[in-house]
Amino acid sequence: MKKLLASSLALLSLGLILAGCSSKSSAKSGSLNVGILQVVQHGSLDEARQGFKAGLKAELRAHGKSTKVTYHYLNAQGDQANLNTMSQQLVQQKNDLLVGVATPAAQALAKKTTSTPTLVTAVTDLKAAGLVKANAKPQTNVSGTSDLTPVGLQLKLLKSLTKGNKPLGIMYNSSEENSVLQVKLAKAYAKKHHLNLKIVSATSTNDVASVLAGLTGKVSGLYLPTDNLMASAMKTIGAKAKAANLPVVTGSIEMAEDGGTATYGINYYDLGKQTGKMAYNVLEKHQKPQTMAVQTSKKLHLYINQANTKAIGLKPSQITKP
Residue 13 has pLDDT above 50, yes or no: no
User: What gap in Å lies between CA 53 and CA 220, rounded to an integer?
Assistant: 40
Contact 262, 315 (CB under 8 A): no
CA 30 to mean position of chain CA atoms: 28
pLDDT score for 193: 97
Query: Average pLDDT of 87-100?
Result: 97
pLDDT band at 42 (very low <50, low <70, confident <90, very high): confident
Average pLDDT, the chain: 90
pLDDT tens for 302-320 read: 999 999 999 999 999 989 9
Residue closest to 149 by CA, chosen among 177, 174, 175, 185: 185
pLDDT tens for 246-274 read: 999 999 999 999 999 999 998 999 999 99
Sign of the alpha-carbon torsion through 170, 175, 179, 184: positive
Residue 223 has pLDDT above 50, yes or no: yes
pLDDT tens for 47-65 read: 999 999 999 999 999 999 9
Residue 8 has pLDDT above 80, yes or no: no
Residue 14 has pLDDT above 60, yes or no: no
pLDDT score for 24: 34
In angstroms and rounded to an integer, the radius of gyration of the C-alpha atoms of the chain is 24
Q: Quick check: helix, strand or coil at residue 54?
A: helix
pLDDT tens for 231-244 read: 999 999 999 999 99
